[in-house]
Every structure is written in structure tokens, then in C-alpha cells.
């Protein structure tokens, strides 16, 4: 320990901040995504004394929370965020909303004014709990040093609720600046385990499915893993049915020799057509609903009587699927999935979303991780992912845009040996583009492909469906991003990230080859129509 870092209270050298970090470390935390301010400096000094937690600085809080989300999804471990009072936390809410929908286990640390200073309503005072509650399983105010061990334990327990989630600790400066109670003993880590599905539920599903009928097995939760996909495919094959996954999986394993998984559609009319008259077995997935409410279309897209509720998102869908397959007569002989040959698209042709995806299918290495945001590349990728080598895909679970780049940061930190590819729409990339700096700073192996179509394509699609005139000046002004066009190469270079613009398939192929072998980040601006 650096001599200058020794706490000044020599009678009891351990401060509240030291105990807090010790509890967090013993509870399983190994990394802290930080954007601290003055109220977090006692924790910064304690992080320096402790030295066991990796600290990753970002220039904006949305990067911290999105990176924590990506780290949690890929590793299954509990990362920390360190954020500055209500306003600093607020900048991280959008990606915590996505993390909540993903069931990502995260502990947020928010520094707050000293307990005795709160009443004076200083400029940075705000109602932190009101801000934090919508994205936290629990918000815990640390009101004394004696509460530190129990509060941290409570936070970790909260992250294990249902399918998992975030807990938020609000930490007044005086509490962590005070001496730690001498007798405090940090609790051990509590591993997350999905809740077992009751045997009766499996029996009921088996009874229902014994009747003949069209069947869809809809995967979510832990059934998005290799084991879950194989079990789901076995069930679907045994019933002569189809295998689908929820539309926005937190992280799903695809490609290689895994069975093909069809993605649930987006618009309600498409989902209704896709589901037909099938019974839908919910295996860790939520029931199909409309993403938004559209006049004339229902919210619930499969009626109750056609839903077979096998496993909720927080339940062990894999074990339930296995048990159900056994109950229905065992695993059928499945023909192994053989990938169709993949070839690079015509080199001299200009890029299209489809050709970007084709080239990536060719080049994506085994065990890569894709962070996917936006439908321009996301849609075609998930329709074709089974043709790629085995990989994992993270998607935007909560619809709060600005998730893709920071999730890629977190993934790369969780799996430094993997190639991480960020398939990113240009509109959503803007919300957390500061992620690029952290990629450069940490030397992360991330290849970012920005789909540069210079518009909010999803809004244009929605407006077109509503028969609104896209060329009207006001509508164009609010949906087109071409005045001026953003130069993503310049932005990336501004953050110290190597970057290149690609307009043809050959240029993209060359850039991708470079990115996937580079020991650090590369941004490819894929100019698209």
C-alpha cells in the first residue's frame, strides 16, 4: 500500500470506504465502470488503496452503465458502476433501463452529499431515490458505517431477484469517510441460480402438448444458451413444430452446428402472421406483445388459450425443456445443422445492409461476440446468424438507444480474448459515442461497423406505415441526419480510434479483415443508402 494512501485515522486504519470495497470484492465484484466526481473521491482513494478492482474510466455515464450491462451479460458476474450524485446517475439511466430488461446483475454506487449537508439543498442535491427506483431492484441509502456490510449483502441479494437486475447504493461522503466498525465481516458471494420450474407446470405442459397441433417453442432467459437452444430444438422437432426466440435477447448463442432459431418479428401484424394458429411454448420468454401500441392492433399477440407457460424469464427454462422432452418421449434424432456455404459479396458493388452482413458471415471468427443495435444491420444479421461460425449476440433489450457501443466495451473487458463486433446504426451510436474513447484507452479488440445511412430509419418506417409524408419539411427535419452528414471516421479519430470509411464490398472486406486481427479497436463507417 502506498504510504500516502494510508487512511489518516491511525487508531483504526480501515475507513468505511475500505470496508465497502472489501464487501463488494468478497461479494464477487471485480470491475468498476467509473465516472466519479467530488462526492466519490473517498471511494476513489479507497479504490487506490485496495487495488483489487479494475477501474475503467468513461467520459460519460451512459458508457459506464452500458458497459456494465455488457460485462454482466457476457460474464454472468456482477460489475460495479461509480457515478456522481443524481445528475451523474441520471446520465446512466437509459442503459440501466436496458440492463433491467436484460436481467443484468449490477451494483451501482452513487456518491451523495454528507448526511449533515443534505438539508442545505446544495446545487447538486436531488431526489436520487426517485431517479434510481425505476431501474433498480432496490435502492439502498447507506446511513451509517455500521450498515455497510448488511447493505452490500442486501444489494447482492437484490441483484439475484427473478431474472436478475441492478441494485443501487447511495453513499453519503461522511459515512465512507468515517472509521469502519472493527468487527464488520464481509459476506461471501451468492451465486445466481434461476428458479426451478415446478414439476406440475411441466406435467401440465406435457398434457397440453400431447394433443396434436401446430407448435412454436419460444426461447428466452437461460434457454438462449447452447443447452437451451438444443433442448428447445429437440422439443420443437419432437412436436413437428418451430423454434423461435424472443425479439430482443440479452445474449444468445447462434451459428456453427446449432439449430436454426427464428426471431420473433417486430410489428404486431408480422408477429400475428408469424405465430399463425400455433400453440406457443414460453420457455424463458415473455409472451409475444406489440412493441408499441398501434390503433387497431392488440397488445397481446397470442391469446391466452394458445400460450403454454413453461418457464418465466427468471426460471430455469433449460431444465424445464429437458424435463419436458424426456416426459414426451425423449430426444428425437436431429439432423446436425450444416451451415450453407458463405461467399463474399461482389467486391466492386456498393454496400448494402445485406452485403455487410454477408461479408461478416464470411469473416466472423469462432466465439466472437456481436453487440447489435439498430434494425438496419440487426434485422439481416439475426435472419442469417445461423450461417456464421458459433458466436454470441447481444441486442437492445429495453429500446433505450445508445446501448450498442458501451455493451461492446463491457463484452471486450469480460472476454479480452474474443473478437467483439459492434453492429451499430448511426442514429443510436450518437447517444454514447464517448465509448470510443474507452475502447482506445483500454485497447479493446472491438470492430465497430457503423451503418451510416444518415437518418432515423425506424422513424421513417413507422411514419410510412402511418402514411405520413416523409418529404414534408418538418418531418424531414426531425428524421434525416444528412445536414450535415456526420463523419464517423473523424469522430473515431478524435477519440484515438483508428477508422476507415467503406463504400464498396471490397473496402468493407479489407477493413473487416484488418479490424478482426487488430489488437485494439477499429471503426468502419459503412456508407449505406
- Could you say which residues in the range 104-123 bind a copy of itself, by CB under 8 A? 113-114, 116-117, 119-120, 122-123
Residue 287 beta carbon to a copy of itself: minimum distance, rounded to whole angstroms: 9
Among 152, 155, 251, 440, which residue sits at the site for a copy of itself (rule: CB under 8 A)? Answer: 440
Residue 43 beta carbon to a copy of itself: minimum distance, rounded to whole angstroms: 10
Contacts with a copy of itself in 347-406 (CB under 8 A)? 397-402
Q: Are strands 420-425 and 368-373 parallel, antiparallel or unpaired?
A: parallel
Shorter beta-carbon distance to a copy of itself: residue 388 or 524: 524
Residue 117 beta carbon to a copy of itself: minimum distance, rounded to whole angstroms: 3
Contacts with a copy of itself in 410-429 (CB under 8 A)? 427
Within 8 A by CB and 6+ apart from 276, the residues are 214
* DSSP code at position 337: P
- Phi (first) and psi of residue 75, to 5 degrees: -95, -25
Residue 290 as a binder of a copy of itself (CB under 8 A): the answer is: yes
Contacts with a copy of itself in 226-245 (CB under 8 A)? none
Find the part of the chain contacting a copy of itself (CB under 8 A) among 190-198, 202-210, 365-373, 467-475: 467-475
Residue 124 as a binder of a copy of itself (CB under 8 A): the answer is: yes
The secondary structure element, H or E, covering residue 90 is helix 85-90
Among 13, 25, 26, 57, which residue sits at the site for a copy of itself (rule: CB under 8 A)? Answer: 57
Cα 85 versus chain centre, distance: 24
- List the one residue out of 247, 270, 271, 245 whose CA is nearest residue 258: 245
Yes or no: say if 479 and 470 are a contact pair by the CB < 8 Å rule: yes
Shorter beta-carbon distance to a copy of itself: residue 441 or 514: 441
Alpha carbon distance, N-terminus to C-terminus of the chain: 57
Contacts with a copy of itself in 68-97 (CB under 8 A)? 85-88, 90-91, 93-94, 97
Among 204, 272, 458, 518, which residue sits at the site for a copy of itself (rule: CB under 8 A)? Answer: 458
Burial 157-177 (b: 16+ CB within 10 A, else e): ebbbeebbbbbbbbbbbbbbb
Residue 189 beta carbon to a copy of itself: minimum distance, rounded to whole angstroms: 23
DSSP letters of 273-307? HHHTT-EEEEEBPPPPB-SS--TTS-SBSS-GGGE
Residue 292 as a binder of a copy of itself (CB under 8 A): the answer is: yes
Residue 437 as a binder of a copy of itself (CB under 8 A): the answer is: yes
Helix, strand, coil percentages in the chain from 3-state DSSP, rounded to 5: 45, 20, 40
The three cell numbers of residue 200 are: 406440475
Contacts with a copy of itself in 172-201 (CB under 8 A)? 173-174, 177
Residue 332 beta carbon to a copy of itself: minimum distance, rounded to whole angstroms: 34
Residue 157 as a binder of a copy of itself (CB under 8 A): the answer is: no
Shorter beta-carbon distance to a copy of itself: residue 127 or 417: 127
Shorter beta-carbon distance to a copy of itself: residue 209 or 439: 439
The secondary structure element, H or E, covering residue 34 is strand 31-34
Q: How many CA atoms lie within 13 Å of 158's alpha carbon, on the beta-carbon side?
A: 21
Residue 131 as a binder of a copy of itself (CB under 8 A): the answer is: yes
Contacts with a copy of itself in 484-503 (CB under 8 A)? 484-491, 493-496
Shorter beta-carbon distance to a copy of itself: residue 47 or 308: 47
* SS3 at position 227: helix
Shorter beta-carbon distance to a copy of itself: residue 135 or 219: 135
* SS3 at position 424: strand
Amino acid at each position: 500500500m502506498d504510504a500516502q494512501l494510508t487512511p489518516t485515522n491511525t487508531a483504526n486504519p480501515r475507513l468505511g470506504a475500505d470496508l465497502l470495497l472489501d464487501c463488494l470484492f468478497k461479494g464477487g465484484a471485480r470491475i468498476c465502470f467509473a465516472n466519479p466526481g467530488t462526492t466519490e473521491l473517498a471511494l476513489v482513494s479507497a479504490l487506490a488503496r485496495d487495488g483489487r478492482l479494475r477501474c475503467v474510466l468513461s467520459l460519460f455515464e451512459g458508457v459506464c452503465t452500458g458497459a456494465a450491462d455488457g460485462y454482466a451479460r457476457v460474464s454472468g458476474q456482477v460489475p460495479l458502476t461509480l457515478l456522481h450524485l443524481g445528475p451523474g446517475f441520471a446520465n446512466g439511466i437509459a442503459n440501466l433501463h436496458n440492463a433491467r430488461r436484460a436481467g443484468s446483475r449490477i451494483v451501482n454506487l452513487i456518491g451523495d452529499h454528507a448526511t449533515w449537508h443534505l438539508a442545505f439543498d446544495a446545487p447538486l442535491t436531488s431526489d436520487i431515490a426517485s431517479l434510481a427506483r425505476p431501474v433498480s431492484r432496490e435502492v439502498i441509502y447507506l446511513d451509517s458505517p455500521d450498515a455497510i456490510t448488511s447493505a452490500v449483502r442486501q444489494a447482492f441479494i437484490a441483484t439475484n431477484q427473478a431474472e436478475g437486475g441492478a441494485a443501487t447504493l447511495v453513499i453519503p461522503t461522511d459515512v465512507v469517510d468515517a472509521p469502519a466498525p472493527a468487527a464488520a465481516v464481509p459476506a461471501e458471494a451468492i451465486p445466481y441460480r434461476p428458479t426451478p420450474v415446478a414439476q406440475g407446470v411441466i406435467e401440465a405442459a406435457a398434457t397440453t402438448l400431447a394433443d396434436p397441433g401446430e407448435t412454436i417453442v419460444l426461447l428466452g432467459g437461460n434457454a438462449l444458451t447452447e443447452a437451451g437452444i438444443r433442448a428447445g430444438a429437440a422439443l420443437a422437432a419432437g412436436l413437428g413444430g418451430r423454434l423461435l426466440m424472443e425479439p430482443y435477447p440479452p445474449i444468445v448463442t447462434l451459428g456453427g452446428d446449432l439449430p436454426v432459431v427464428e426471431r420473433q418479428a417486430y410489428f404486431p401484424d408480422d408477429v400475428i402472421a408469424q405465430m399463425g394458429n400455433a400453440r406457443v411454448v414460453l420457455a424463458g420468454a415473455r409472451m409475444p406483445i406489440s412493441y408499441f401500441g398501434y390503433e387497431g392492433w392488440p397488445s397481446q399477440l397470442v391469446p391466452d388459450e394458445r400460450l403454454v407457460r413453461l418457464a418465466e424469464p427468471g426460471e430455469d427454462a433449460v431444465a424445464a425443456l429437458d424435463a419436458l422432452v424426456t416426459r414426451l418421449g425423449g430426444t428425437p434424432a436431429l439432423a446436425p445443422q450444416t451451415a450453407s456455404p458463405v461467399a463474399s459479396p461482389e467486391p466492386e458493388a456498393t454496400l448494402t445492409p445485406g452485403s455487410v452482413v454477408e461479408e461478416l458471415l464470411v469473416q466472423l471468427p469462432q466465439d466472437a461476440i456481436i453487440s447489435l443495435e439498430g434494425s438496419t444491420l440487426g434485422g439481416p444479421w439475426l435472419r442469417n446468424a445461423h450461417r456464421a461460425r458459433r458466436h454470441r449476440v447481444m441486442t437492445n433489450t429495453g429500446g433505450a438507444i445508445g446501448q450498442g457501443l458501451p455493451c461492446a466495451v463491457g463484452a471486450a473487458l469480460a472476454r479480452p480474448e474474443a473478437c467483439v463486433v459492434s453492429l451499430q446504426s448511426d442514429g443510436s451510436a450518437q447517444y454514447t459515442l464517448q465509448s470510443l474513447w474507452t475502447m482506445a484507452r483500454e485497447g479493446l479488440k472491438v470492430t465497430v461497423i457503423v451503418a451510416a445511412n444518415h437518418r432515423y430509419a425506424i422513424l421513417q418506417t413507422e411514419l410510412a406505415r402511418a402514411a405520413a409524408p416523409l418529404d414534408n419539411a418538418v418531418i424531414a427535419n426531425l428524421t434525416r441526419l444528412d445536414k450535415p452528414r456526420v463523419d464517423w471516421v473523424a469522430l473515431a479519430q478524435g477519440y484515438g480510434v483508428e477508422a476507415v470509411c467503406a463504400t464498396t464490398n471490397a473496402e468493407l472486406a479489407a477493413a473487416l479483415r484488418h479490424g478482426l486481427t487488430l489488437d485494439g479497436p477499429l471503426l468502419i463507417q459503412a456508407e449505406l443508402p
